[in-house]
Each structure stands twice: as structure tokens, then as C-alpha cells.
Amino acid sequence: MMRIAVGGFQHETNTFAPSKADYAAFAQADSWPALQSGAGLLTAFTGMNVPVAGFIDAATKAGHTLMPLVWCSATPSAHVTEDAFERIAAMMLDALEGSAPFDAVYLDLHGAMVTEHLDDGEGELLARVRAAIGPDVPLVASLDLHANVTPRMVAQADALIGYRTYPHVDMAETGARAAAHLDSIFAGLPRQAKAMRKLDYLIPLTAQCTLIEPAQHLYAHLAKLEGQMLGNGRVGSVSFTTGFPPVDIADCGPTVIAYADTEAAAEAAADALAAEIAAAEPRFREKLWSAREAVAYAIANADGGHGPIVLADTQDNPGAGGNGDTIGILTELIAQGAPRAALGVLYDPESAGTAAQAGEGAQVRLALGAKTGGAPDEKPIEAEFEVVRVTDGEFLATGPFYGGSRMSLGVTVRLRIRGVEVVVASRKAQCADREMLRHTGIEPANLAILAVKSSVHFRADFGPMAREVLVVESPGPNIADLSKLPYKRLRKGIRVMPMGEGFGG
């Protein structure tokens, strides 16, 4: 059996977002555990849907000895500070040196990290790890489906294994697939040849959902390629990362990565999947609703059956660099008198603290939301709110995405204004689990209208009960129509929207 060093460094960077990720953002717990190092890393993720959990479980069952490095994540935001990157990278490399000797390294990465001083955070980290371990030690990493994969990342790693679902319900499964790939190397099989293809159009986040077409078909096709004999070689692993589009770097966008016994087979697999993705381009466009239009439609159809109409506040999604505090949809829900409506989760530590101090049952005047600059033209909602519930924001997530994670939202309150319920938290978190509302006493299935600060991950838990989902173009930094982003550094010719104009003329 083998000795494997295990670590992770996760950040999804929106270069247009208002707030950066400093070291404290990685050190604290939020939707995921706080920074982990030492033996605690091997037990902190038990039962969670995160790649490192799946890897640890699979590798342990295979009898391998695991050597913990460092694992951390921070809520998506603007650039990772230089200080944070260099401190965490140094911690990882120090732990790597202290873990020697080992037979392989596994890293749980995102693939879309941009720092204050580096366009390619993961490429730099992988290069430093490769320099430390030498050319012969296998280095395998798992990647988020939204990774903006670079040639340097592919060159430094023996394999990059991407998620296949959005909502990401297969994160732990992806870690287990990375473990299986390492096992094939340990079994004495030769290292596989690599092939990479960059696609020539960007895909909006909400159109990347694998529960709907065309992504559903593309990932089914991907799975069929694995294990095939193409020419003189067997295809081992294929990944399609749809990319994280609000990132102004040359390598932004979708990528296909294929591994096979021979270079010809890897190239053939990459070409086959890239051709399918190219053909699907027209089907990646979708309807976007204004906040006023979406709320009016939802009110008019509120009694159309069981379960809520869900309004996805995608542009203020904390899972994509938003701060979760814009108030465009909330303003419309209040103004239009939406019945049995709720919004979650609004990030406003000041208002949460004031309301908690006032106590349950109190009427309190607040300036709610719109404090971080995510929508510069917005001003807070200044009004009287009823404090319905006060919690410590600690609860166990139960849905397919966050499931098994002990969430820490800080002081959290449930407010009510003119019949509209608002869950307000002291820490940012994408609203993708029913317990985020339930722990305040709201049962989502009983609502007529539910607005969520999320793009797609909410579909994993809220989707099955939703009567309809509307993607709303309300103010926020995670711009849904990519043609409205002020890109300056994309590679020339890439289409900023499917079937749109090429960048740079």
C-alpha cells in the first residue's frame, strides 16, 4: 500500500466582484469547515459532499496511508490576496516536506483561482508542488466543474479530474474517482497521455446546469467515452469544465481534458467531446427575467399548485462572487405585496446584530441590505421590521449539495415586513439547502414564492419542490449576460455569449 499526501486550496474568483479573499476568509468556517491541518484534516470532512472527503474515504478503504497537508476554502469573491495565497502555499509546502517520504500527492482544488499577483493560482500551486516532489511522484487533483483550466495546470499534474454535475452533488464522488486514478498508476499501468481543448465561447453560469439541456446530454456523452478503445489506446478519464465566466483572464472558459493510454486516443477523445460542445452552442442561451417582471409573474401564478415559484437571484450569488446583500428582488416582493413569500439568505451582519439584540417579537427599524457595494446604485431598505426568530446560525445541512456540512452563518434572524419573510445572516452563504430557511422556522415547501441568492446549486434541494424556476437579472456583480461585463484580457476571438460576438473584434 502507498503513502499519499492529501491537501486542498479552494477559491472561485470573480475578478469583477467587490470584495477580496484575505487569509481570515480561508481560516474561518462558513458553508465548509475552517482551515484544516495535521491529523484533524483526515476526520473533519467525514460524511460531507466535498472532494477531499471522497478521496480520503476511497483511499483509506484501499489501505493507503494518508499524510495530511493543509485544506482550506473561502467563499467566492474577488481576488485572493497575495498574502493569503503565499501564506497558505507555504504552509502546504512545509507540510509536504514534513510528510516525506510519500508515493503520491492528491490536491482538492477549484481551478478558477486568481490572486492579486497571479492569473493562474492553481497552475502556480501545482508547479510549486511539482518542483518539490520531482517529476516521478504522481500528482493528481480534482477540479470544480467551473474551473478555468490552463495549459500550465495540465502540464504539472498527472491527472485533473473534474466534477460532472451542477448542482455539484458529485463532489465526494469526484474525489473517489481521483483516488481510483491514482490506484491505476500504483497498479503499474503507464502514466496516461494527455489532451486539452479550449472551447471558443463562454457559457453563462445558469445555462451550465446539468439537470437541463444541453449540459445533461454532454455529460452523458462524456461518460460514454471513458473506457472506449479509440484507435490503439483505451480512454481512461475525460473531463469537461464549463468554466467560470466572470473572470477576466486569457484562459477563461470551457475546457476538455482527456487522458488515455496513447496520445492518439487522448486526442481523439478530446476532439469528439469538443465537437459535441461546439454543436451545442445555440442551446446554451436562456431567458433572463427582470426583478419586476419575475415578481409580477410569480404573484399572478402563486396559486397555481403545490410548491413555490423560485426566483434565482443569480447576479448576487455568494457562490459566484456576490456578497448576498443586494435588494432588487426584495424591494419588488415588498412593493408588489407578494403573498407567502420569502427571501434567503441576505448578508447583513449589522442588521442581524441589531435585530437579535432587540429580540424575538420586537419591531425594529433597520437599514437592510445594500451595504457592500455589490450594486452601487442601490440604497438599503429603511423600514420597520418584525423580528420573528433569532438563531446562532449553526445547523446541519441535509440537502444533496451541502448535505452533511455543519453550517456556520453567525447570528441569523428571520425578519418580516408586509408579509414578506427575510432570512438575514452575519456570514455570506449561497442559499442552496432547505435547512438555511427551516432553522428559522420557515418551511420552503409551504411558500408561494421563494427568492434565493443562488444561480444553480439551489436546484439540488429546492428544485424538486419548485413549481417553476425563473432566473432573475437583478443587480449584483455576477453578471448573467456576459456581454455586459467589461472584459479587457480575454483571448481574442472567444465569443463572450453563446452565438455572440467574438472578443476583441
**Integer Cα distance of 354 and 365 in angstroms:** 9
Which residue reads 461585463 in cell numbers? Answer: 485
**Integer Cα distance of 248 and 363 in angstroms:** 45
- Tell me which residue of 57, 53, 120, 121 sits closest to 92, measured CA to CA: 121
1-191: which CATH architecture? 3-Layer(aba) Sandwich (3.40)
Burial 389-404 (b: 16+ CB within 10 A, else e): bbbebebebebbbbbb
- Tell me which residue of 73, 90, 101, 88 sits closest to 5, measured CA to CA: 101
Q: Could you tell me the residue ranges of all domains in the chain? A: 1-191, 192-287+482-505, 291-480
Phi-psi region of 76 (alpha: psi -120 to 50; beta: other; left: phi over 0): beta
Beta carbons of 479 and 485 less than 8 angstroms apart: yes
Phi first, then psi: what are they for 366, rounded to 5°?
-130, 155
Number of H helices, E strands in the chain: 12, 20
Beta carbons of 113 and 11 less than 8 angstroms apart: yes
- What is the full per-residue pLDDT of the chain (505 aa) written as tens digits? 899 999 999 999 999 998 999 999 999 988 789 999 999 999 999 999 999 999 999 999 999 999 999 999 999 999 999 999 999 999 999 999 999 999 999 999 999 999 999 999 999 999 999 999 999 999 999 999 999 999 999 999 999 999 999 999 999 999 999 999 999 999 888 789 999 999 999 999 999 999 999 999 999 999 999 999 998 899 999 999 999 999 999 999 999 999 999 999 999 999 999 999 999 999 999 999 999 999 999 999 987 668 999 999 999 999 999 999 999 999 999 999 999 999 999 999 999 999 999 999 999 999 999 999 888 899 999 999 999 999 999 999 999 999 889 999 999 999 999 999 999 999 999 999 999 999 999 999 999 999 999 999 999 999 999 999 999 999 999 999 999 999 999 999 999 999 999 998 6
Cis peptide bond upstream of 345, omega within 30: yes
Which residues, including other chains, have CB under 8 Å from residue 267's CB and lie 6 or more apart? 195, 258
